[in-house]
Amino acid sequence: MHTYAVLLNILVFISYSASNLKTRLTEVISTMSWAVDNQIEVAMKQIPWWQGAIIYQIYPRSFMDGNNDGIGDLNGIINKFDYIDKLGVDAVWISPFFKSPMNDFGYDISDYRDVDPIFGRLSDFEQLIARAAQSNIKIIIDQVLSHTSDQHAWFVESRKDKTNDKADWYVWADAKPDGTAPNNWMSIFGGTAWQWEPRRGQYYLHNFLTSQPDLNFHNEEVRRAVLDNVKFWLDKGVGGFRLDAINFCFHDKELKDNPAKPAAERAGRGFSEDNPYAYQYHYYNNTQPENLAFMEELRQLFDQYDDVVSLGEVSSEDSLKDMALYTQGNKRLNMAYSFELLTDDFSAQYIKDTINSLEQQMTDGWPCWAISNHDVQRVMTRWGGDNAPVQLAKMLTAMLGSLRGSVCTYQGEELGLTESDISFDELQDPFGKTFWPQFKGRDGCRTPMPWTKEHEHGGFSRSQPWLPVSTQHRQIAVDQQEQDPDSVLNSFRAFMTWRKSYPALVHGNIEFIDTSDNTLVFTRTATVAGKAQTVLALFNFNNHAITSQRFGEVVAYLDASPFLLNAQALDTQAPHIDVPAFSGYYALLK
């Protein structure tokens, strides 16, 4: 409302009798509030729903078992959708539920257009889409485009001989004269990336398991078939796609050897430094220039549908640079994320440097950040150690949700779950079996959700689950945390609701402030109703209290309880603020 209009209303007030003044004042304040709220709402509607969205990742095997066979399924997700709704998230990303022999637990797909029977039926997925729509929550599905299962009909035909209709649909190559593999490429899951196929007398490429042959994206028929599979799910009404290992679609046609990487430069991103995969620069087996044109083909398909988002997982020699390339020009992917915050590195400086590096390179794209998922040790253990305090979980949720970009949060992080201890006899993950005991696999972050403390198997299933439910997890089960207003779960819910009250935290720009005390400090700024809104955020990464200086011209400190400090009572002119361990605060700046 304009200043002139406000003054006019004040003059009108004066002309009223004292008995009418209160009524008129209430009406005007209500009108002004509606006007401001309406302007904010209109401004927010002009921004794509996925910019600043909170995306909740569900690993379906472990979320909820709807038919009590020990494995989570689509009906289990539907049965728990009220819980999801109360989290305050914008979208749900569901890891693969397609037909699969489950050698890599769904990331080895044998039929892209059908639901695996252990997860239910196609009609169950359609029901899930409908239930999510009731809560205005989008469903994002995982798509594994670079490779299939060796049981997929395409590969079954391709491996027969060199002349069939699918002969060139996978990456086949002759042996060297001495019978060894065509080149030195390595598999992430251990050993050479080539497997001999006697029926063809050739090797085929597999960047992952031997049962996950890589498709030949240089073949236009392959690209068309892949796009047709994606279109199938678009027509089902999905809200978007998380594209697994999307930079692995193309390989170097000449099959050039990858150069060796010095020991000092071996850094794992989704794999450990002692994995032979870390011994090479992966210049030729992934992230090829041709892949960018395919990203544009994908985007052209997505743009034929309303409000569909594409999120690419990028893991390359320079993931931040490639995240920028894969989202460049509003003609490729909408968003990308990498493993850069899924590492053991936990310091304010590392996070600041990582985000600043991407901000400098991603000039017209939109980032997505994750500190946890189904492939890495749970963040409470990875960054907090064996006895991580509850407050750390609260701070990490607030920190992640305050960065510029969208957010992927993994099931169980809202409870503060730690990594489960899985014995070798209980282990299911083929990756862990290969590299045990130095690397114990990914099962520790994939154990079933604990819904209740007292029920057997934590209320996940009445049958023996595919992985055991942690005894420690049952102590902090959903039913226990819902009774405690200060729990990690209720703090997660409170933050997600609170965050939406500050558009600057959802879609504003970010600017970091240098500090030297292991605190992460930045401002987020956005235009709201024609005025700049600037929110300062500070996070104490130390396991002890610190005294922080005041930053900027503070208009007001904000109530960020129960996840961080309730700083409303603080003096805006006070030169210092005491911040407890793993806590922080927010303030509005001029």
Active site members: 244, 313
- Contact 461/69 with Cβ under 8 angstroms? yes
Q: How far is residue 544's CA from residue 577's CA, in Å, rounded to a whole number? A: 14
Residues pairing with 548 in the sheet: 577
CA angle 369, 419, 423 (to 5 degrees): 140
DSSP letters of 403-434? SSSEEEEETTGGGTPPPP---TTT---HHHHH
Beta bridge partners of residue 58, listed in sequence order:
94
Report the relative pairing of strands 509-513 and 406-410 from DSSP bridges. Answer: unpaired
Please, which residues bridge with residue 105 across strands?
none
End-to-end CA distance of the chain: 20
| HSE-up of residue 454 (Cα within 13 Å, Cβ side) | 2
135 burial type by CB count under 10 A (0-12 exposed, 13-18 middle, 19+ buried)? middle
Q: Residue 299 forms beta bridges with which residues? A: none
Q: Please, are residues 116 and 72 in contact by the beta-carbon 8 Å criterion?
A: no
Tell me the chain's radius of gyration from C-alpha atoms. Answer: 26
Q: DSSP states of 200-262 as a string?
A: TTEEEE-SS-TTSPBB-TTSHHHHHHHHHHHHHHHTTT--EEEETTGGGS---TT-PPPPB--
Beta strand pairing status for 519-528 and 531-540? antiparallel
Under 8 Å between Cβ of 285 and 147: no
